[in-house]
Amino acid sequence: MLDGSLYSYLVYNRHFYPGVQVALGVPTAVLMELLGSTLIAAEDYRGFDPSRSDLSKVDLSFKSIRAACERRGVNVLDLTYGSVIGGGLCNAYLPKSLPHYLWERDSSAQGWTDRWGHIHKSFRLGGYGRSMNSELDKRLADARELQQKVFDVIRPLQNHLDAFRFALSFYKMGVTLIGPHDFRNADPLQGKPEDEREAQEQGQQEQQEHEQGEQSEESPPIPSGPPVHEYRYRMLEESYRWYLGAREQGWSIGQYPVLYSAFVLDPSALPPAGARRFELDLATMVLKTPSGEFQLPKDSDGRGETERKIWREYVVPHFGTGWEPRFLLRDGAFTIHE
């Protein structure tokens, strides 16, 4: 709680265009006001309700949030504000905001600001560039206290966001709660009659030999390794949905994203080339791995045996804590100015 208000954490991703704002501390009451009737209690969710407001039409821009805060007389925190870098989290409060920056409204301090509008704190003693002394140290005590309060509120919210990112990464990698019969090396033929097992195994072996015979000498062999759980193919099927949908809409090559292996806690950046574990170009369906390049079938949907063999051998082994498969723009990253 800050200034008597509960705060929520709002982080923009590249689907929004908020300008230079990236992460905000928003009074929860303001957020609830803006979300309005889009909210449904989880314990009372009964499916799609056309009478509810469309969440995608809610204006959650920084301008809208700031205006709503001004109406209520509360403060929005801009946690990635440039002034925070040199002035601390206390500068997440916007310039001249009340009650903490009433002193910035003093005309004697005007003109000596950083490029983001906050006045240099040394001007609380009336001049620029004053060296630290006991008097200035005493006058900065409230700023240090405010810095700690903001930190104490935002840190657990950031921890929750990080935990969510890890949970989402596990979902995308197929590491979700499954039954004891669904483990990675489970035998899909278990429980079938012996003659049926032998016939199916023979058919699989013949199909494998046929597919391997069609490969070029330059291509790495398509493996036949043990089956993996259906959940492990989630991002493969999602990649095909992107590929097929974009092709149907006539996208240019530059519009297609690439599926990369990326760091979970770095939502925007691409790892250095030497650290990349795999990448799938959705414009061509060519998969690049340390073991070589593979052309995935272009006339499939991600449920064919050929692409699944390649996926489970050359992609699934690279799934691990701290990494996740993630769609990024073709240059591998995005900026907050997109």
Read off the pLDDT of residues 5-24 as tens digits, 9 standing for 90 and up. Answer: 999 999 987 665 546 778 99
Tell me the pLDDT band of 285, cut-offs 50, 70 and 90: very high
The overall pTM is greater than 0.75? no
**Mean pLDDT computed over every residue of the chain:** 81
Dump pLDDT digits (tens) for 88-133.
Answer: 999 999 999 999 998 888 766 666 788 888 988 877 765 655 566 7
Is residue 249 over pLDDT 70? yes
pLDDT of residue 14: 64
For the chain, the domains span: 7-169, 180-328
Which range among 137-141, 214-218, 274-278, 295-299 has the greatest average pLDDT?
295-299
Query: Which residues, at least 6 apart from 306, have a Cβ–Cβ distance to it below 8 Å?
Result: 211, 222, 296, 297, 300
Is residue 207 over pLDDT 80? no
pLDDT of residue 89: 95
Point out the least confidently predicted range of 117-121, 174-178, 275-279: 174-178
Is the bond leading into 271 cis (omega within 30 degrees of zero)?
Answer: no
How far apart CA 125 and CA 117 sit, in angstroms, is 18
C-beta atoms surrounding 73 within 10 Å: 9
Tell me the pLDDT band of 199, cut-offs 50, 70 and 90: low
